[in-house]
Chains A and B, each alone.
Chain A
Amino acid sequence: MIRRRGAALALLLALATVATRVEAQDTRRSGFMFMSPGTQAMQRDDMENPGMLAVLDGAELWAKPAGTSGRSCADCHGGGAEAMRGVAARYPAFDATRGEAIDLAGRILQCRAERQGDAPPPRESRTLLALTAFVAHRARGMPVAPDADPRMTPVVEAGRALWHKRLGQLDLSCAQCHDDNAGQKLASAPIPEAHPTGYPIYRLEWQTTGSLQRRIRGCLTGVRAEPFAYGADEYIALEAFLMERARGMEIETPGVRP
């Protein structure tokens, strides 16, 4: 009996060693790693990172009363540095009340409309991006830790299916570029692995801050596919899949991208 338990323990230990070894061999690379040293330096230095402007705007909005409630986000969630700590690392999450997955921006819109009693700002508006950047920045340096609610599983699977679906006139799937050809160059652009760890990002090409949905929209347009509407289930599913795929990687909001 004891001997058998000893063997089981040994096996467990062996498995644990294998697991750590697998972890040590994690070859996933954030989009950051595909950027030029200059752009990397820009992201690293908060004084240079133009994405910090959105974070700072968000901090102001966080403390500002809005809507018929006359309450600010801080009134309910707190004004200190600990408020919203790590929350973004868990999104998209399952919203039990609505019975569906919701992304971080969707959650903020929900609070804006239902709890503050204000007209929710549109997707990709400066206000929503700033609030999202503020909340996501409060998870910077923390590992991606997707919502453990089992009702997220079908959402992640729907995202995975979309990831592998060939789309558009060019008939290409996300996976064909970002899994099979990451590190290769599409004309001048290195193909990154498409990790969602830096969002909202400041994109030099846009000269502004934008969401993951806007970034994915760019890829859809690139393969000459019709993009989904902002806030669509498809984007939320893709994001849930990408977060699962990036489980354990570090949140780096605000990312800078070329």
Chain B
Amino acid sequence: MRRRPGRRRRARRPAAVFARPPVLALLAALLASATAGAQVVPYTIVADGIPEPLGGAAGDPARGRAIVADRQKGLCILCHSGPFPELRFMGTLAPDLAGAGARWSTAQLRLRIVDAARLNPDTIMPAYHRTDGLARVAPAWRDRPILDAAGIEDVVAYLETLR
């Protein structure tokens, strides 16, 4: 909790569509055209997972590891511990990430990161790829997900290696 909102991350995708009800989608489209910032891409949930990669492309596990281990970017280790011998401090609010790739399918991991509240409405784990249903988001973060589609895929690719 010692960080300030950082700079806006550079958008990896020029245009964005909103995977939410039509009115919101329209609003998001308007916002996107105004700021070229919104980055939430559409996805389809099947059972308890998202089978298809967000944006279509596969992620890179090395980039994913860097995101997960970064307190400002992934924020994961604020809550989780994991196989990161180089880190001195990790959180105790959530399960150890070691073995996550064996416990969950790729589709399940993807939904867990995209919108954990879909699996557990009371979860404290933030939705990494959702911008609606949030209150009082600081201007620097408004209308942008914590991770864009490529970031989600990188993290999922990394988690898959944790067997």
Contacts and interface: CB of A to CB of B under 8 A. Distances in A.
A188 interface: yes
A59 interface: no
B78 interface: yes
B92 to A, nearest CB: 5
A224 B93 contact: no
Interface in B41-89: 71, 75, 77-79, 88-89
Contacts, number: 82
Nearest to B79: A186
A66 interface: no
Contacts of B133: 171
Contact of B77 (A169, A187, A226): A187
A169 B146 contact: yes
B137 A169 contact: yes
A188 B124 contact: no
A187 B137 contact: no
Interface stretch (B2-10, B31-39, B102-110): B2-10
A168 B136 contact: yes
B1 A222 contact: yes
Residue of A169, A189, A219, A226 with highest tally of chain B CB at under 10 A? A169
A168 B138 contact: yes
A177 B146 CA distance: 20
A144 B75 CA distance: 36
A176 interface: yes
Contacts of A184: 91-93
B97 to A, nearest CB: 14
Contacts of B90: 185, 187
B126 interface: yes
Interface residues of A, number: 28
A224 B138 contact: yes
Among B1, B78, B135, chain A packs the most CB atoms within 10 A around the CB of: B1
A218 interface: yes
A85 interface: no
Contact of B126 (A171, A180, A186, A218): A171
A167 interface: yes
A165 interface: yes
B124 A226 contact: no
B134 interface: yes
Contact of A181 (B3, B93, B146): B93
Contact of A165 (B2, B135, B146): B135
Given A187-B78, A188-B88, A169 B138 contact: yes
B127 interface: yes
A221 B89 contact: no
A177 B75 CA distance: 15
A205 interface: yes
Interface string A197-226: 000000001000000000000111110111
Given A170-B75, A186-B91, A188-B89, A181 B138 contact: no
A91 B138 CA distance: 29
A87 interface: no
B21 interface: no
Nearest to B122: A176
26 contacts: A167-B136, A168-B138, A169-B134, A169-B137, A169-B146, A170-B146, A171-B134, A180-B124, A181-B93, A184-B92, A185-B91, A187-B77, A187-B89, A189-B2, A218-B2, A219-B1, A222-B1, A222-B2, A224-B5, A224-B137, A224-B141, A225-B137, A225-B138, A226-B137, A226-B139, A227-B138
Query: Which 9 A-B residue pairs are closest in the complex by CB-CB distance?
Result: A222-B1, A188-B89, A169-B141, A170-B126, A226-B138, A185-B92, A225-B136, A224-B141, A184-B92
Given A177-B124, A226-B137, 17 more contacts: A167-B136, A168-B138, A170-B146, A171-B117, A171-B127, A171-B133, A184-B91, A184-B92, A186-B78, A186-B79, A187-B89, A187-B91, A220-B136, A221-B138, A224-B137, A224-B141, A226-B138
